[in-house]
Chain A
């Protein structure tokens, strides 16, 4: 069985500051990892995904994430926060890569302060 832990249900950063959202996973097999973003009262949208091709993954809107097997982590970063980045972010894991087997974390609400 796999699981995902997102450290920090709420994160606040100033506009222009580094964004770091933490995600740790457990999986009995090499995992496939994903970050999704949800804007208020909307569905989720895929930001990026790790599928074992490269440990540093670049996504949309300037976000990237690094897969670290030794730390079982897949933290999401962005060098400079923008007001439009305010949203909820979900980390997810799938043992096979299939959408059916996705397990989502509980989410991190990102607030960007002016």
Chain B
């Protein structure tokens, strides 16, 4: 079955440590996204990538970094510079350049807790 796989599902981190969240998709989608979800705030876009080796900052990119070396993979690193990293992180993908779709396909999320 095609889909998006995020790992780990739960992650605990000490303050000052970097942590990398994995996102892999086998939908053959060009575009991939990382969102952060906090209670009562909906989803906020961290980074997105339309093609391999290219990515753009979203609305809340500070303290995060990404790479897009392969079409299938879009890992997110939460750095020690992120002041409030405890959140639920969602990876998504979409068909790029397909006109009006607006449809995102989501993974099941990674819950990061900073101790």
- A interface residues with partner B (beta carbon < 8 Å): 9, 32, 34, 36, 41-46, 49, 51, 90, 92, 94, 96-100, 102, 104-107
Contacts and interface: CB of A to CB of B under 8 A. Distances in A.
Interface string B41-57: 11111001010000000
B108 A34 contact: no
A106 B40 contact: yes
Given A49-B103, A99-B103, A41 B42 contact: no
B98 to A, nearest CB: 9
State which size class the interface on B falls in.
Answer: 20 to 34
8 contacts: A43-B106, A44-B90, A49-B103, A94-B102, A99-B102, A99-B104, A100-B33, A104-B44
B102 A49 contact: yes
8 shortest A-B CB distances, which residue pairs? Answer: A43-B106, A97-B100, A104-B42, A99-B94, A104-B43, A106-B42, A44-B106, A94-B102
Contacts of A49: 102-103
B42 A44 contact: no
Contact of A43 (B45, B48, B50, B108): B108
A1 to B, nearest CB: 11
B106 A97 contact: no
